[in-house]
Amino acid sequence: MFRILKKNITVGKVTLPQAFTLAKAPEGFLGAPEVDPAKCTGCGKCVITCPTKALTMVDRSAEDKRFFHRSYGDCIFCGLCGPVCPHRAISFKGKFDLAARTKKELHLQSSFSLSCCRKDAAFIPSNALSAKGSADDVQGFAQGDFSSRLSMEEEGLKLKDKIQRLFGRSLHIREVDAGSCNGCEVEIVNLSNPVYDAERFGIHFVASPRHADMLLVTGPVTRQMELALVKTYEATPPPKLVVACGTCAINGGIFGGNYTVIGGVDRSVPVNVYIPGCPPRPEAILRGIFLALDKIPTAQKN
């Protein structure tokens, strides 16, 4: 043991510093769909194709308007809407850093003149918009498009500094699987691998909610797991931060409406931050954790 210790002291550091690089998705990763308003005519073909109703349209004859509503909270990044668009108005550029503090920030909306926009014979306008909120209630996406996002390293160092200021120690996170397919769990596990190494930023996953500052919840909440989730939340000491990780955790995803599923996490426990994606990338999860720390009351910070 002493021989090994002596050797380590003599040799010194042999690791190399990691170069600052932008947090970009790998080649082939679709990411969230982006709609070009200059090309979109409101024909509605993408709405018919969307499997999770992340894209909806509603006509209002009195206003001579057709409203096109997009929800990143329901989108699973499947890419089916792009090929059916006759005007190539939908593109995929690998956008994934979409964490937001409220569901309204995950909504985008545009409108068309009903008398001028193209109507597809197969498209029947729905009243889905009324279920998600009126046109006046739906706000533009304010914080999800981090086009000027910092490098992974810089973002992590900011997170580490914030954790130290708030807690004076590591941030303790308990991951809770409320009924997921384990896709989100794979990305969460990646936070601990040598590529991301989230522990160097002061993030530590714990085995008990009694030791946790934050719950990172994945999957739609199933009926069998709802009580366990509620008890886990109750066992977590203040500040009881909750992050809904993935599309299923936000609104139920492709499992929404199933008789075995309650729905999104916020139907069972309060949620502080929503991270869209199916599954979200590790960089997006780190951003969601960073946003959640802003939810800590001023008294707790001091």
3-state secondary structure 220-244: CEEHHHHHHHHHHHHHCCCCCEEEE
The mean per-residue pLDDT over the stretch 108-126 comes to 67
What does the alpha-carbon distance between residue 300 and residue 92 come to, in Å, rounded to a whole number?
41
The mean per-residue pLDDT over the stretch 242-249 comes to 94
- 18 is written with which tokens? 């990691």
Check residue 137 and give its pLDDT: 36
Where do the structural domains in the chain lie, given as residue ranges? 33-95+105-132, 152-301
The mean per-residue pLDDT over the stretch 42-49 comes to 88
Check residue 145 and give its pLDDT: 33
pLDDT of 172 > 70? The answer is yes
Non-local (6+) Cβ contacts of 77 within 8 A are 30, 31, 32, 33, 96, 277, 278
User: 140: how many CB neighbours lie within 10 A of its CB?
Assistant: 10
Check residue 153 and give its pLDDT: 65
Mean pLDDT of the chain, nearest integer: 80
- Residue 245: which pLDDT band, with cuts at 50, 70 and 90? very high
Q: Identify the residue with better confidence: 159 or 265.
A: 265
The mean per-residue pLDDT over the stretch 170-191 comes to 93
Q: What does each C-alpha distance from 222 to 38, 218, 246, 265 come to in angstroms?
A: 41, 11, 15, 10
What does the alpha-carbon distance between residue 260 and residue 266 come to, in Å, rounded to a whole number?
17
Q: Identify the residue with better confidence: 143 or 29.
A: 29
- Residue 224: which pLDDT band, with cuts at 50, 70 and 90? very high
SS3 label, residue 128: helix
- 50 is written with which tokens? 């969307």
Answer yes or no: are the C-beta atoms of 262 and 249 closer than 8 Å.
no
Check residue 129 and give its pLDDT: 40
Question: 33-95+105-132 — its CATH code?
Answer: 3.30.70.20
Fold assignment, 152-301:
Rossmann fold (3.40.50)
Non-local (6+) Cβ contacts of 175 within 8 A are 185, 188, 205, 215, 216, 217, 218
SS3 label, residue 111: strand
DSSP letter at 299 equals H
The mean per-residue pLDDT over the stretch 143-163 comes to 58
Q: Identify the residue with better confidence: 30 or 118.
A: 30
**93-102, 148-157, 163-172, 173-182, range with the lowest pLDDT:** 148-157
The mean per-residue pLDDT over the stretch 205-211 comes to 94
pLDDT digits (tens, 9 = 90+) for 33-43: 999 988 888 88
pLDDT of 49 > 50? The answer is yes
Q: Which own/partner contact pairs does 101-104 have at CB distance under 8 Å and 24+ positions apart?
A: 101/143, 101/272, 101/273, 101/274, 101/291, 101/294, 101/295, 102/274, 103/73, 103/250, 103/274, 104/133, 104/137, 104/138, 104/139
pLDDT of 217 > 90? The answer is yes
pLDDT digits (tens, 9 = 90+) for 55-67: 998 888 888 888 8
